[in-house]
Structure 1
Protein backbone atom coordinates (compact mmCIF):
# COMPACT_ATOMS: atom_id res chain seq x y z
CA UNK A 1 0.00 0.00 0.00
CA UNK A 2 1.41 3.40 -1.00
CA UNK A 3 0.53 6.34 1.22
CA UNK A 4 -1.54 9.04 -0.45
CA UNK A 5 -2.93 12.28 0.93
CA UNK A 6 -5.29 14.76 -0.66
CA UNK A 7 -3.84 18.02 -1.92
CA UNK A 8 -5.86 19.96 0.65
CA UNK A 9 -4.40 18.02 3.57
CA UNK A 10 -0.88 18.32 2.22
CA UNK A 11 -1.30 22.05 1.78
CA UNK A 12 -2.64 22.40 5.31
CA UNK A 13 0.40 20.75 6.85
CA UNK A 14 2.71 22.84 4.68
CA UNK A 15 1.05 26.00 5.98
CA UNK A 16 1.26 24.71 9.54
CA UNK A 17 5.06 24.73 9.31
CA UNK A 18 7.44 21.77 9.75
CA UNK A 19 8.67 22.88 13.18
CA UNK A 20 5.17 22.95 14.69
CA UNK A 21 4.52 19.25 15.09
CA UNK A 22 1.37 18.42 17.04
CA UNK A 23 1.51 15.10 18.86
CA UNK A 24 -1.06 13.25 20.92
CA UNK A 25 0.43 12.05 24.20
CA UNK A 26 -0.49 8.91 26.15
CA UNK A 27 1.91 9.55 29.00
CA UNK A 28 3.26 8.42 32.32
CA UNK A 29 6.94 9.03 33.15
CA UNK A 30 7.42 5.45 34.33
CA UNK A 31 7.39 3.12 31.32
CA UNK A 32 8.60 0.23 33.49
CA UNK A 33 6.58 0.21 36.72
CA UNK A 34 7.89 -2.19 39.35
CA UNK A 35 4.89 -2.45 41.68
CA UNK A 36 1.26 -3.35 41.02
CA UNK A 37 -1.36 -0.61 41.13
CA UNK A 38 -3.23 1.93 39.02
CA UNK A 39 -0.87 3.91 36.80
CA UNK A 40 -2.12 7.41 35.94
CA UNK A 41 -2.12 8.10 32.20
CA UNK A 42 -2.25 11.68 30.88
CA UNK A 43 -3.89 12.26 27.51
CA UNK A 44 -2.62 15.59 26.14
CA UNK A 45 -2.68 17.04 22.61
CA UNK A 46 0.38 19.27 22.46
CA UNK A 47 3.53 20.48 20.71
CA UNK A 48 5.99 18.77 23.09
CA UNK A 49 9.33 19.29 21.29
CA UNK A 50 8.99 23.07 21.36
CA UNK A 51 6.99 23.16 24.62
CA UNK A 52 4.43 24.99 22.53
CA UNK A 53 0.71 25.37 22.01
CA UNK A 54 -1.68 22.80 23.51
CA UNK A 55 -4.99 21.89 21.85
CA UNK A 56 -8.36 21.09 23.44
CA UNK A 57 -9.29 17.40 23.39
CA UNK A 58 -12.84 16.15 23.00
CA UNK A 59 -14.08 12.99 24.70
CA UNK A 60 -12.02 10.08 23.32
CA UNK A 61 -13.74 7.54 21.09
CA UNK A 62 -11.65 4.68 22.53
CA UNK A 63 -9.20 4.28 25.41
CA UNK A 64 -8.02 0.76 26.19
CA UNK A 65 -5.11 -1.53 26.93
CA UNK A 66 -4.05 -4.89 25.54
CA UNK A 67 -2.37 -7.44 27.79
CA UNK A 68 -1.37 -10.85 26.40
CA UNK A 69 -3.79 -10.40 23.50
CA UNK A 70 -6.79 -9.41 25.64
CA UNK A 71 -8.25 -5.94 25.09
CA UNK A 72 -9.75 -4.09 28.07
CA UNK A 73 -11.77 -0.88 27.84
CA UNK A 74 -10.53 1.98 30.05
CA UNK A 75 -12.97 4.74 29.08
CA UNK A 76 -14.74 4.57 32.45
CA UNK A 77 -11.46 5.63 34.11
CA UNK A 78 -11.25 8.91 32.18
CA UNK A 79 -11.50 12.22 34.03
CA UNK A 80 -11.31 15.66 32.36
CA UNK A 81 -8.30 17.76 33.39
CA UNK A 82 -6.76 21.03 32.27
CA UNK A 83 -3.24 20.95 30.87
CA UNK A 84 -1.40 24.16 31.68
CA UNK A 85 0.90 24.63 28.69
CA UNK A 86 3.68 27.19 28.55
CA UNK A 87 1.48 29.58 26.56
CA UNK A 88 -2.10 28.41 27.07
CA UNK A 89 -4.44 26.02 28.90
CA UNK A 90 -6.16 23.16 27.09
CA UNK A 91 -8.74 20.47 27.84
CA UNK A 92 -7.12 17.08 28.42
CA UNK A 93 -7.89 13.80 30.18
CA UNK A 94 -6.46 11.49 32.81
CA UNK A 95 -7.08 7.77 32.87
CA UNK A 96 -5.90 4.82 34.93
CA UNK A 97 -4.04 1.71 33.75
CA UNK A 98 -4.43 -1.22 36.18
CA UNK A 99 -0.96 -2.81 36.32
CA UNK A 100 -1.11 -6.19 38.02
CA UNK A 101 0.70 -9.10 36.40
CA UNK A 102 4.15 -9.01 34.82
CA UNK A 103 4.24 -8.36 31.09
CA UNK A 104 3.50 -5.80 28.38
CA UNK A 105 0.67 -3.30 28.60
CA UNK A 106 -0.12 -1.69 25.24
CA UNK A 107 -2.25 1.41 25.82
CA UNK A 108 -4.29 2.64 22.85
CA UNK A 109 -6.17 5.89 22.30
CA UNK A 110 -8.55 6.88 19.53
CA UNK A 111 -9.23 10.57 20.22
CA UNK A 112 -12.17 12.54 18.94
CA UNK A 113 -11.23 14.32 15.69
CA UNK A 114 -9.82 17.77 16.45
CA UNK A 115 -10.88 20.66 14.22
CA UNK A 116 -7.93 22.84 13.27
CA UNK A 117 -9.66 26.07 12.30
CA UNK A 118 -6.58 27.71 10.77
CA UNK A 119 -6.22 24.79 8.34
CA UNK A 120 -9.94 23.93 8.01
CA UNK A 121 -9.26 20.24 8.55
CA UNK A 122 -9.81 17.62 11.25
CA UNK A 123 -6.93 15.75 12.89
CA UNK A 124 -7.24 12.37 14.60
CA UNK A 125 -4.03 10.95 16.04
CA UNK A 126 -4.51 7.26 16.84
CA UNK A 127 -1.87 6.68 19.50
CA UNK A 128 -0.09 3.83 21.26
CA UNK A 129 2.20 3.82 24.31
CA UNK A 130 3.87 0.87 26.00
CA UNK A 131 4.43 -0.12 29.62
CA UNK A 132 6.07 -3.22 31.07
CA UNK A 133 6.14 -4.73 34.53
CA UNK A 134 8.74 -7.25 35.54
CA UNK A 135 10.92 -7.09 32.43
CA UNK A 136 9.01 -9.98 30.87
CA UNK A 137 7.89 -9.39 27.25
CA UNK A 138 4.38 -10.59 26.40
CA UNK A 139 3.25 -9.13 23.08
CA UNK A 140 4.82 -5.72 22.43
CA UNK A 141 5.55 -6.77 18.83
CA UNK A 142 1.91 -7.55 17.97
CA UNK A 143 -0.60 -5.17 16.29
CA UNK A 144 -3.74 -4.36 18.27
CA UNK A 145 -6.17 -3.85 15.37
CA UNK A 146 -6.35 -0.07 15.17
CA UNK A 147 -7.29 1.56 11.86
CA UNK A 148 -3.70 2.73 11.51
CA UNK A 149 -0.83 1.90 13.85
CA UNK A 150 2.88 1.34 14.22
CA UNK A 151 4.09 -2.13 15.14
CA UNK A 152 7.50 -1.85 16.85
CA UNK A 153 10.42 -4.03 15.80
CA UNK A 154 12.41 -3.15 18.95
CA UNK A 155 11.07 -3.37 22.48
CA UNK A 156 9.62 0.14 22.80
CA UNK A 157 9.92 0.62 26.56
CA UNK A 158 13.70 0.16 26.97
CA UNK A 159 15.43 1.40 23.83
CA UNK A 160 19.11 2.21 24.34
CA UNK A 161 20.04 5.80 23.53
CA UNK A 162 22.63 5.67 20.76
CA UNK A 163 21.01 2.62 19.15
CA UNK A 164 18.19 2.56 16.59
CA UNK A 165 14.44 2.08 16.71
CA UNK A 166 12.40 0.50 13.90
CA UNK A 167 8.67 0.03 13.40
CA UNK A 168 6.26 -1.00 10.65
CA UNK A 169 3.40 1.30 9.72
CA UNK A 170 0.02 -0.33 9.02
CA UNK A 171 -3.24 1.00 7.61
CA UNK A 172 -6.20 -1.38 7.84
CA UNK A 173 -3.62 -4.04 8.65
CA UNK A 174 -1.56 -3.53 5.49
CA UNK A 175 1.99 -2.08 5.33
CA UNK A 176 2.24 1.56 4.19
CA UNK A 177 5.18 2.16 1.85
CA UNK A 178 6.67 5.58 1.17
CA UNK A 179 5.13 7.28 4.23
CA UNK A 180 6.75 10.32 5.79
CA UNK A 181 7.28 9.86 9.53
CA UNK A 182 7.56 12.93 11.76
CA UNK A 183 9.76 12.46 14.81
CA UNK A 184 9.19 14.24 18.11
CA UNK A 185 10.83 14.45 21.54
CA UNK A 186 9.20 15.43 24.84
CA UNK A 187 11.51 18.30 25.75
CA UNK A 188 9.59 19.33 28.88
CA UNK A 189 8.05 16.29 30.55
CA UNK A 190 4.59 16.92 32.04
CA UNK A 191 4.38 17.08 35.82
CA UNK A 192 1.87 14.46 36.92
CA UNK A 193 0.66 16.56 39.87
CA UNK A 194 0.39 20.05 38.35
CA UNK A 195 -0.50 19.01 34.77
CA UNK A 196 2.08 21.47 33.47
CA UNK A 197 5.35 21.11 31.56
CA UNK A 198 8.53 20.69 33.55
CA UNK A 199 11.95 22.08 32.80
CA UNK A 200 12.86 22.33 29.10
CA UNK A 201 15.84 20.06 28.39
CA UNK A 202 16.40 20.71 24.67
CA UNK A 203 15.00 22.61 21.71
CA UNK A 204 14.06 21.62 18.13
CA UNK A 205 16.91 21.60 15.65
CA UNK A 206 17.30 24.08 12.78
CA UNK A 207 15.87 22.87 9.48
CA UNK A 208 12.38 21.90 10.58
CA UNK A 209 10.87 18.61 11.69
CA UNK A 210 12.90 15.42 11.99
CA UNK A 211 11.64 13.05 9.29
CA UNK A 212 12.14 9.41 8.25
CA UNK A 213 10.52 7.44 5.42
CA UNK A 214 9.05 3.96 5.36
CA UNK A 215 10.47 1.42 2.92
CA UNK A 216 8.54 -0.90 0.61
CA UNK A 217 7.51 -3.00 3.62
CA UNK A 218 6.27 0.00 5.61
CA UNK A 219 9.31 -0.06 7.92
CA UNK A 220 11.31 2.95 9.09
CA UNK A 221 14.42 3.17 11.28
CA UNK A 222 15.64 6.11 13.35
CA UNK A 223 18.78 6.49 15.44
CA UNK A 224 17.86 7.48 19.01
CA UNK A 225 20.39 10.13 20.12
CA UNK A 226 19.11 10.92 23.61
CA UNK A 227 17.30 9.31 26.54
CA UNK A 228 13.68 10.21 27.15
CA UNK A 229 10.38 9.85 25.31
CA UNK A 230 10.38 9.83 21.51
CA UNK A 231 7.27 9.95 19.36
CA UNK A 232 6.67 9.03 15.72
CA UNK A 233 3.69 10.11 13.62
CA UNK A 234 2.52 9.17 10.13
CA UNK A 235 0.23 11.95 8.93
CA UNK A 236 -2.77 10.80 6.91
CA UNK A 237 -1.88 7.10 7.14
CA UNK A 238 -5.37 6.01 8.20
CA UNK A 239 -8.13 4.86 5.83
CA UNK A 240 -10.60 7.60 6.82
CA UNK A 241 -10.12 10.87 4.94
CA UNK A 242 -13.35 12.79 5.71
CA UNK A 243 -15.11 13.86 8.89
CA UNK A 244 -18.14 16.13 9.22
CA UNK A 245 -17.81 17.12 5.57
CA UNK A 246 -14.18 18.20 5.83
CA UNK A 247 -10.76 16.73 5.21
CA UNK A 248 -9.52 14.39 7.94
CA UNK A 249 -5.88 13.59 8.65
CA UNK A 250 -6.06 10.24 10.43
CA UNK A 251 -2.58 9.73 11.82
CA UNK A 252 -0.73 6.85 13.50
CA UNK A 253 1.37 7.78 16.55
CA UNK A 254 3.67 5.68 18.72
CA UNK A 255 5.69 6.67 21.81
CA UNK A 256 8.81 4.90 23.05
CA UNK A 257 11.10 5.26 26.08
CA UNK A 258 14.88 5.43 25.64
CA UNK A 259 17.50 5.14 28.39
CA UNK A 260 21.17 6.00 28.65
CA UNK A 261 23.60 3.23 29.51
CA UNK A 262 25.31 4.14 32.80
Structure 2
Protein backbone atom coordinates (compact mmCIF):
# COMPACT_ATOMS: atom_id res chain seq x y z
CA UNK A 1 0.00 0.00 0.00
CA UNK A 2 2.80 2.39 0.92
CA UNK A 3 4.60 1.76 -2.35
CA UNK A 4 1.42 2.52 -4.31
CA UNK A 5 1.11 5.83 -2.45
CA UNK A 6 4.75 6.59 -3.13
CA UNK A 7 4.35 5.93 -6.83
CA UNK A 8 1.36 8.24 -6.97
CA UNK A 9 2.96 11.06 -5.01
CA UNK A 10 6.41 10.85 -6.57
CA UNK A 11 6.14 9.18 -9.94
CA UNK A 12 9.28 10.83 -11.23
CA UNK A 13 11.36 9.39 -8.38
CA UNK A 14 9.86 5.91 -8.40
CA UNK A 15 9.91 5.55 -12.17
CA UNK A 16 13.53 4.47 -11.97
CA UNK A 17 13.29 2.52 -8.71
CA UNK A 18 14.59 -0.74 -10.13
CA UNK A 19 16.97 0.45 -12.80
CA UNK A 20 19.98 1.64 -10.81
CA UNK A 21 20.00 -1.18 -8.28
CA UNK A 22 23.20 -1.51 -6.27
CA UNK A 23 25.28 0.86 -8.40
CA UNK A 24 27.36 3.28 -6.32
CA UNK A 25 29.73 6.00 -7.48
CA UNK A 26 32.33 6.09 -4.74
CA UNK A 27 34.28 9.13 -3.58
CA UNK A 28 36.48 7.27 -1.15
CA UNK A 29 39.12 8.37 1.30
CA UNK A 30 39.70 6.27 4.42
CA UNK A 31 38.87 8.88 7.09
CA UNK A 32 36.13 11.50 6.77
CA UNK A 33 37.00 13.00 10.16
CA UNK A 34 40.62 14.10 10.53
CA UNK A 35 42.52 15.86 13.30
CA UNK A 36 44.77 17.72 10.88
CA UNK A 37 44.97 18.61 7.22
CA UNK A 38 47.44 17.39 4.64
CA UNK A 39 47.35 15.38 1.41
CA UNK A 40 44.57 12.87 0.80
CA UNK A 41 43.84 10.42 -1.98
CA UNK A 42 40.32 10.13 -3.40
CA UNK A 43 39.37 6.89 -5.15
CA UNK A 44 36.50 7.10 -7.63
CA UNK A 45 35.34 3.63 -8.81
CA UNK A 46 31.77 3.01 -9.99
CA UNK A 47 31.01 -0.33 -8.39
CA UNK A 48 29.11 -2.41 -5.80
CA UNK A 49 30.96 -1.87 -2.50
CA UNK A 50 28.86 -4.12 -0.28
CA UNK A 51 29.74 -7.26 -2.21
CA UNK A 52 33.04 -6.28 -3.88
CA UNK A 53 31.10 -6.42 -7.13
CA UNK A 54 31.71 -5.52 -10.75
CA UNK A 55 33.70 -2.35 -11.51
CA UNK A 56 32.04 -0.51 -14.38
CA UNK A 57 33.95 1.54 -16.95
CA UNK A 58 32.64 5.10 -17.20
CA UNK A 59 33.67 8.05 -19.37
CA UNK A 60 35.51 10.98 -17.78
CA UNK A 61 33.44 12.81 -15.16
CA UNK A 62 31.42 15.85 -16.09
CA UNK A 63 32.36 17.74 -12.92
CA UNK A 64 34.45 17.39 -9.78
CA UNK A 65 34.93 20.15 -7.23
CA UNK A 66 35.26 20.91 -3.53
CA UNK A 67 33.44 23.53 -1.47
CA UNK A 68 34.95 24.95 1.71
CA UNK A 69 33.44 27.86 3.65
CA UNK A 70 31.29 28.66 0.64
CA UNK A 71 34.19 28.78 -1.83
CA UNK A 72 34.08 26.37 -4.76
CA UNK A 73 37.33 25.03 -6.24
CA UNK A 74 37.29 23.11 -9.51
CA UNK A 75 39.19 19.81 -9.28
CA UNK A 76 38.31 18.29 -12.63
CA UNK A 77 41.84 18.64 -13.97
CA UNK A 78 43.16 16.63 -11.00
CA UNK A 79 41.18 13.52 -11.96
CA UNK A 80 43.40 10.82 -13.45
CA UNK A 81 42.50 7.44 -15.01
CA UNK A 82 43.30 4.41 -12.87
CA UNK A 83 42.03 0.91 -12.21
CA UNK A 84 40.12 -0.69 -9.38
CA UNK A 85 40.05 -4.37 -8.47
CA UNK A 86 37.09 -6.16 -6.95
CA UNK A 87 36.29 -9.83 -6.43
CA UNK A 88 34.58 -9.70 -9.82
CA UNK A 89 37.08 -7.90 -12.05
CA UNK A 90 39.69 -5.20 -12.50
CA UNK A 91 38.03 -2.30 -14.22
CA UNK A 92 38.74 1.24 -15.38
CA UNK A 93 38.34 3.88 -12.71
CA UNK A 94 39.55 7.34 -11.67
CA UNK A 95 41.35 8.91 -8.75
CA UNK A 96 42.45 12.34 -7.55
CA UNK A 97 44.76 13.91 -5.01
CA UNK A 98 43.99 16.90 -2.82
CA UNK A 99 45.62 18.76 0.06
CA UNK A 100 43.44 19.81 2.98
CA UNK A 101 44.47 23.26 4.22
CA UNK A 102 42.88 24.57 7.39
CA UNK A 103 40.03 23.54 9.67
CA UNK A 104 36.48 22.92 8.54
CA UNK A 105 34.40 20.90 6.11
CA UNK A 106 35.55 19.98 2.62
CA UNK A 107 32.52 19.00 0.51
CA UNK A 108 33.65 16.95 -2.48
CA UNK A 109 31.05 16.71 -5.27
CA UNK A 110 31.60 14.33 -8.18
CA UNK A 111 29.30 14.20 -11.22
CA UNK A 112 30.04 11.07 -13.19
CA UNK A 113 29.36 10.81 -16.91
CA UNK A 114 26.15 8.95 -17.76
CA UNK A 115 26.75 5.19 -17.81
CA UNK A 116 24.83 2.94 -20.20
CA UNK A 117 23.30 -0.01 -18.36
CA UNK A 118 22.67 -2.46 -21.18
CA UNK A 119 20.58 -4.87 -19.10
CA UNK A 120 17.99 -2.13 -18.55
CA UNK A 121 18.61 -0.13 -21.75
CA UNK A 122 18.95 3.07 -19.71
CA UNK A 123 21.63 5.51 -18.63
CA UNK A 124 22.64 6.08 -15.01
CA UNK A 125 24.27 9.25 -13.74
CA UNK A 126 25.13 9.63 -10.08
CA UNK A 127 26.01 12.91 -8.39
CA UNK A 128 28.04 11.88 -5.36
CA UNK A 129 28.93 13.86 -2.27
CA UNK A 130 31.57 13.05 0.35
CA UNK A 131 32.38 15.44 3.19
CA UNK A 132 35.77 15.42 4.89
CA UNK A 133 36.15 17.39 8.11
CA UNK A 134 39.36 18.69 9.67
CA UNK A 135 39.58 19.47 13.36
CA UNK A 136 35.89 18.86 14.20
CA UNK A 137 35.03 22.42 13.14
CA UNK A 138 31.72 22.32 11.23
CA UNK A 139 31.30 24.72 8.31
CA UNK A 140 29.56 23.51 5.14
CA UNK A 141 28.31 19.97 5.91
CA UNK A 142 24.55 20.76 5.85
CA UNK A 143 24.51 23.17 2.91
CA UNK A 144 22.08 22.68 0.02
CA UNK A 145 24.08 23.23 -3.18
CA UNK A 146 21.05 23.15 -5.48
CA UNK A 147 22.31 20.09 -7.36
CA UNK A 148 20.16 18.30 -9.92
CA UNK A 149 20.13 15.35 -7.53
CA UNK A 150 21.28 15.79 -3.93
CA UNK A 151 21.05 14.37 -0.43
CA UNK A 152 21.39 17.19 2.09
CA UNK A 153 22.52 15.79 5.46
CA UNK A 154 20.76 16.71 8.69
CA UNK A 155 23.32 14.67 10.62
CA UNK A 156 27.05 15.36 10.41
CA UNK A 157 28.07 12.59 8.00
CA UNK A 158 31.50 12.19 9.58
CA UNK A 159 30.42 12.28 13.28
CA UNK A 160 28.12 9.28 13.77
CA UNK A 161 28.51 6.64 16.43
CA UNK A 162 28.16 2.97 15.55
CA UNK A 163 24.56 2.24 16.47
CA UNK A 164 23.53 5.85 15.80
CA UNK A 165 21.43 7.21 12.95
CA UNK A 166 21.89 9.25 9.81
CA UNK A 167 19.17 11.64 8.60
CA UNK A 168 19.08 13.39 5.25
CA UNK A 169 16.74 15.16 2.85
CA UNK A 170 16.50 14.15 -0.81
CA UNK A 171 16.31 17.22 -3.03
CA UNK A 172 16.49 18.22 -6.67
CA UNK A 173 17.53 21.76 -7.48
CA UNK A 174 16.68 22.74 -3.90
CA UNK A 175 13.23 21.15 -3.85
CA UNK A 176 12.39 18.09 -1.68
CA UNK A 177 11.62 14.85 -3.50
CA UNK A 178 8.69 13.14 -1.73
CA UNK A 179 8.85 9.37 -1.15
CA UNK A 180 12.19 8.99 -2.91
CA UNK A 181 13.50 5.43 -3.00
CA UNK A 182 16.94 5.14 -1.41
CA UNK A 183 19.36 2.25 -1.62
CA UNK A 184 21.79 1.74 1.24
CA UNK A 185 25.06 -0.20 1.18
CA UNK A 186 27.76 -0.84 3.72
CA UNK A 187 31.34 -0.72 2.42
CA UNK A 188 31.84 -4.28 3.61
CA UNK A 189 35.05 -4.96 1.70
CA UNK A 190 37.61 -2.47 2.97
CA UNK A 191 39.12 -0.42 0.13
CA UNK A 192 42.92 -0.41 -0.02
CA UNK A 193 44.07 2.93 -1.40
CA UNK A 194 47.61 1.66 -1.95
CA UNK A 195 46.64 -1.27 -4.17
CA UNK A 196 43.40 0.20 -5.61
CA UNK A 197 41.45 -2.88 -4.57
CA UNK A 198 38.79 -4.11 -2.18
CA UNK A 199 39.91 -6.44 0.60
CA UNK A 200 39.61 -10.13 -0.16
CA UNK A 201 37.31 -10.71 2.82
CA UNK A 202 34.36 -8.71 4.10
CA UNK A 203 34.00 -7.26 7.58
CA UNK A 204 30.64 -8.98 8.12
CA UNK A 205 28.62 -11.87 6.68
CA UNK A 206 25.16 -10.60 5.65
CA UNK A 207 22.43 -12.91 6.96
CA UNK A 208 20.68 -12.89 3.55
CA UNK A 209 21.03 -11.29 0.13
CA UNK A 210 18.40 -8.72 1.14
CA UNK A 211 21.02 -7.12 3.39
CA UNK A 212 23.55 -6.53 0.60
CA UNK A 213 21.57 -3.61 -0.80
CA UNK A 214 18.87 -2.36 1.58
CA UNK A 215 16.00 -0.14 0.48
CA UNK A 216 14.25 2.62 2.40
CA UNK A 217 11.89 5.44 1.39
CA UNK A 218 11.91 9.11 2.24
CA UNK A 219 8.74 10.63 3.67
CA UNK A 220 6.45 13.20 2.08
CA UNK A 221 9.05 15.91 2.76
CA UNK A 222 11.92 13.95 1.22
CA UNK A 223 13.39 13.20 4.66
CA UNK A 224 14.72 9.79 5.74
CA UNK A 225 16.53 8.31 8.73
CA UNK A 226 18.61 5.13 8.80
CA UNK A 227 20.08 3.39 11.83
CA UNK A 228 23.74 2.49 11.29
CA UNK A 229 24.57 -0.80 13.03
CA UNK A 230 28.25 -1.10 12.13
CA UNK A 231 31.25 1.22 12.14
CA UNK A 232 32.63 2.07 8.72
CA UNK A 233 31.49 3.89 5.61
CA UNK A 234 27.97 3.68 4.23
CA UNK A 235 26.52 4.87 0.93
CA UNK A 236 23.02 6.22 0.32
CA UNK A 237 21.72 6.45 -3.27
CA UNK A 238 18.40 8.17 -3.98
CA UNK A 239 17.28 6.74 -7.32
CA UNK A 240 15.98 8.70 -10.27
CA UNK A 241 15.43 11.91 -8.32
CA UNK A 242 17.31 14.26 -10.63
CA UNK A 243 15.83 16.93 -12.87
CA UNK A 244 17.16 15.29 -16.05
CA UNK A 245 15.35 12.15 -17.19
CA UNK A 246 16.66 11.53 -20.71
CA UNK A 247 20.10 11.12 -22.30
CA UNK A 248 20.85 10.29 -25.94
CA UNK A 249 17.21 9.44 -26.52
CA UNK A 250 17.05 6.92 -23.66
CA UNK A 251 15.82 7.05 -20.09
CA UNK A 252 18.23 8.52 -17.56
CA UNK A 253 18.24 7.66 -13.87
CA UNK A 254 19.90 10.67 -12.24
CA UNK A 255 20.72 9.61 -8.69
CA UNK A 256 21.90 11.44 -5.57
CA UNK A 257 24.62 9.71 -3.54
CA UNK A 258 26.16 10.60 -0.19
CA UNK A 259 28.83 8.81 1.84
CA UNK A 260 28.91 8.78 5.63
CA UNK A 261 31.18 7.23 8.24
CA UNK A 262 30.23 5.71 11.60
CA UNK A 263 32.78 5.33 14.38
CA UNK A 264 33.10 2.57 16.93
CA UNK A 265 32.52 3.35 20.60
CA UNK A 266 35.63 2.35 22.49
For normalisation by structure 2, the TM-score amounts to 0.91
Match of residue 200 from structure 1: 202
Deviation sequence 1:51-71 (CA, Å, 0-9, x none): 111111210000011101111
Match of residue 4 from structure 2: none
Alignment of 1:154-173 (within 5 A): 154-173=155-174
Match of residue 93 from structure 1: 94
Taking only aligned residues, the RMSD between alpha carbons, in angstroms, comes to 1.8
Shift of 1:236: 0.2
Match of residue 126 from structure 1: 127
Name which of structure 1's ranges 200-209 and 138-147 shifts more when overlaid on structure 2.
200-209
Match of residue 36 from structure 2: 35
Matched-pair contact (CA < 8 Å) for 2:17–2:240: no
Deviation sequence 1:124-181 (CA, Å, 0-9, x none): 0110001001111012111123111011011101211111110001012100111111
Matched-pair contact (CA < 8 Å) for 1:126–1:253: yes
Shift of 1:2: 4.6
Shift of 1:206: 2.2
Runs of 5+ consecutive residues of structure 2 not aligned to the other structure:
1-7
1:237 maps onto 2:238 in alignment: no
Runs of 5+ consecutive residues of structure 1 not aligned to the other structure:
14-19
Aligned length: 256
DSSP-derived class of the 1:65 partner: strand
1:256 maps onto 2:260 in alignment: yes
Shift of 1:204: 4.0
For normalisation by structure 1, the TM-score amounts to 0.92
Matched-pair contact (CA < 8 Å) for 1:161–1:225: yes
